[in-house]
Amino acid sequence: MAIHLDEFQELLDELPGGAQELLRASWNEAARAMSPRGLDNYLKGAAALHQLGRGEELVVSFIQSMPEVARAIGEEVLPDLVNFLLGMASKTSGQVLGLIVGTAPIVAHRVGDSDLFRHYLKVLEIVAAQAPRGLRPMLENLDRLLNHLTLGGLRRWVQWGAQAYKTDFEGQASYFGLQSADAQAVLQQERKGTLFVDIQRRLNIYMRAIWGRDFFLRPTAGDYESREGLKPYIEHYVIYIADAYDDYKPEGDATAPVSALEVYRAAANHCAAHLVFTQHPLSMQQLLPVQMAVIELFEDARVEELAIRKFPGMREAWLALHPVFDYSSQPATVGELLDRLARALLDLDSTDPHPFVREGVAAFRAQADLDSNQVSWNLGVDLSHRLFELDLPTYNKLTDGLSAIYRDDNRAVWFLEEYDEAQVMAATWETRQQVRKKVNVMEMVNEVDVEFAGDDAQEVWELPTEFYLDQENVSINSLEGRPPISEPYHYPEWDYQIQLERPNWVTLLEYHPQLGDLEVIEGIILEHKPVISRLKFLIESMVPQGMQRIRHMEDGDEIDINAAVRAMIDIRIGQQHDPRIMMRYKRALRDLAVLVLLDMSESSNDKVRGHDYTVMDLTRAATVLLAGALDRIGDPFAIHGFCSDGRHDVHYQRFKDFDQPYDDLVKARLAGMKGRLSTRMGAALRHAAHYLAQQPKSKRVVFVVTDGEPADNDVTDPQYLRHDTKAAVEELSRQGITVYALSLDPHADQYVSRIFGLKNFTVIDQVERLPEKLPMLYMSLTR
């Protein structure tokens, strides 16, 4: 359910009047940018800053700026920023704190990454500690500084000024306000050519146009400590590229430079080739560092060759960024020799005369199939033995790396075989087969039970009947037994940021529903007796009547005697007769199967405003009335529910299946229905389709009853599960299954139409009318 500002009335009352009004005006924007947890941190942060007593402007600036920061780099930085401000409160004034908050959106957009934003806060700590008079003027000129400097450049610019004007307070103000010649000179020295944030959008569009898919690109402070910078790298399917590149001159000033934008494109294309053409990582077990270096070189050549076959123009773009060598001289190091081999593998017209290079090129060109990265492993191991025969210094990983600026560090090539205790324990469990044995009562009585044995015991005894205790007259199973859990179901999940489906990403488990008191259901039926009476005639009109006779047809199964007599009378008296004198028989059947999917998240325990009952009570009542109507109509139907505790534990309960009668057992399960945890709706819809697809009906419908938008405790991006649910709805639609949503969230219009479609949802503003609305809505949709 959407978070309402009124639910935080206690925090709201702590804020000054102007901040309260601004917060109400900014709430919708904040709700679109943050998850429920982020909104909670947002409000608590505003209250904490107000308690500092540094004026209302600081709180107002925080309320205005944080939604934009969360949208740019994520909501997880809000607690870090608040803690930083609380720590700085004793070191500077409230106006400077307000400047830090006010400029936070500028920094967030320029650095584009939450980790780099945290590094920026550390830079501010340096200024506050070493040059306190320079903090305000630097913040006032921050936009200009970040337009010319990377984060590493800003840090070096700050450190130079802090050291040069350590005891000169006027000099600090002049330097950090960009008024002194020293400030301009150091700024020009640290200035980089093209910043990643300036071309990120163009680069994303370019990558989508080339590869037909999205890649998630993020900046990294490559020159944070030095001017050299880090190589690009791939981690968790995200491509990290340096936050700035200069124009590249492979042969010095004598040749035309390659623009920084082309360097970005080359680096992004190379990393994309790794992601597209590498299916499994390689093992580094028992390999020497020099062997790994040669294997990485061949793997780079392999993915680039496959990319060039699809996009031939990439060869020249990559080749322009390789260093040029004088082939008349011999290589001085292993790194130089590997650089020459890397260029020769890419250059079809290579004339490098070195035997090692020629042997490597010949072996690579002789490979007919480059689809598997095992080719790189074999070539690298074989060719690396030749390096030991050459009179060259020993390979050094730090100094003998490849010089091509666009190539990544190849960490994604290798499978890191680290010790994983959980994996080792799982392997141990798999080797020990559990024995389950059925025994009789006497064997069970005479055997000694192992008190501390769990579900992973080596041997488990099963008694087919209940085992009762003599004194209590109850069974052990009723006292200590646990309901069984199904085998796990694994479903994919759509990640809208990378435009890919994560396979087997969500684990769903079916749990047995708890039984409740049947008197609860009887009370619902008695309370809503007037509604049931109003539905009675509508239900009877929808019950299939078997064979129906349709009259007034020009073509039919037999003659309608009455219509034929009237036609003959009209002919005899000279009038135009009605030619529709036939009638047809039609079998009235409802070829329909319905699955009602209930959202049982924690928010369903919230009380309806102005009433003592909860949303779950209304959902239960509406489900009982709908089930009664469906049972009388005769439509095959099932009632299932779901909630979730992260992607590894989606709970799914089946209160009634299609082949199960609507009896007291089903009613008892509905009476025991409880709300808890979160709402991962996409996985539940896919599992519901698993059962609905087995029904041999021409029309199949999933009827979702929910009180809020999709959300889960391990997802901070509010858009992520919305897009996944939308993808699940589209997936069910391709299977011929219609998904219709009934939302109890009065603010659902903001998102529900984008998920389920313009005509496939209804929002009930008056939640207390749900028990009456749900059966009426179903019957109007399926007439």
Write out 376-432 in H/E/C secondary structure. Answer: HHHHHHHHHHHHCCCCCCCCCCCCCCCCCCCCCCCHHHEECCCCCHHHHHHHHHHHC
Alpha helices in 551-614, H assignment, sequence order: 561-572
How far CA 457 is from CA of 442, 454, 460, 755, in Å, comes to 21, 6, 7, 46
β-pairing, 699-706 vs 737-743, is parallel
Signed CA dihedral, 295, 297, 300, 303: sign only: negative
**What is the C-alpha separation between 329 and 173, in angstroms, rounded?**
55
Angle, in degrees to the nearest 10, between helices 529-542 and 615-633: 30
Q: Please name which of 295, 322, 296 lies closest in space to residue 406, comparing C-alpha atoms.
A: 322
Q: Does an H or E element contain 220, and which? A: strand 216-220
Paired with 594 in beta bridges are 637, 701
Alpha helices in 141-256, H assignment, sequence order: 142-148, 151-164, 169-176, 181-190, 196-211
Q: What was the pLDDT predicted at 226? A: 46
Largest CA distance in the chain: 122
The tokens for 703 are 């009827």
Q: Please name which of 653, 644, 781 lies closest in space to residue 724, comparing C-alpha atoms.
A: 644
Question: Which residues does 53 contact at the CB level (< 8 Å), separation at least 6?
Answer: none
Starting at the edge strand found earlier in the chain, the sheet holding 582-588 runs 546-553, 582-588, 558-559
Residue with tokens 């529900």: 752
Q: What was the pLDDT predicted at 318? A: 93
**What is the C-alpha separation between 708 and 173, in angstroms, rounded?**
52
Cα angle value 609/610/615 (rounded, 5°): 45
- Phi/psi zone of residue 178: left (φ > 0), alpha (ψ -120 to 50 degrees), beta? left
**What is the C-alpha separation between 421 and 527, in angstroms, rounded?**
57
Q: Does an H or E element contain 538, and which? A: helix 529-542
Long-range contacts of 336-339 (CB under 8 A, 24+ apart): 337/387, 337/390, 337/392, 338/293, 338/294, 338/297, 338/400, 338/402, 339/402, 339/403, 339/404
Q: What was the pLDDT predicted at 543? A: 54
Long-range contacts of 551-558 (CB under 8 A, 24+ apart): 551/583, 552/578, 552/580, 552/583, 553/580, 553/582, 553/583, 553/584, 554/579, 554/580, 554/582, 555/582, 555/584, 556/582, 556/583, 556/584, 557/582, 557/583, 557/584, 557/585, 558/582, 558/583
**The one-letter amino acid at 773:** K
- Are 230 and 401 in contact, with CB atoms under 8 Å apart? no
Q: What was the pLDDT predicted at 425? A: 42
- Are 775 and 524 in contact, with CB atoms under 8 Å apart? no
Rounded to two decimals, the pTM is 0.49
CB crowding 557-592: b at 16 or more within 10 Å, else e: eeebeebeeebeeeeeeeeebeeebbbeeeeeebeb
How far CA 746 is from CA of 14, 15, 426, in Å, comes to 27, 27, 46
Q: What was the pLDDT predicted at 539? A: 60
Q: What was the pLDDT predicted at 431? A: 39
**What is the C-alpha separation between 724 and 22, in angstroms, rounded?**
33
How far CA 426 is from CA of 422, 646, 650, in Å, comes to 6, 21, 21
Q: What was the pLDDT predicted at 581? A: 86
Q: How far is CA 151 from the centre of its chain?
A: 28
Which residues of the chain, if any, have pLDDT below 50?
Answer: 1, 224-228, 418-432
The tokens for 294 are 């040669």
The tokens for 131 are 């040059």
Q: What was the pLDDT predicted at 4? A: 64
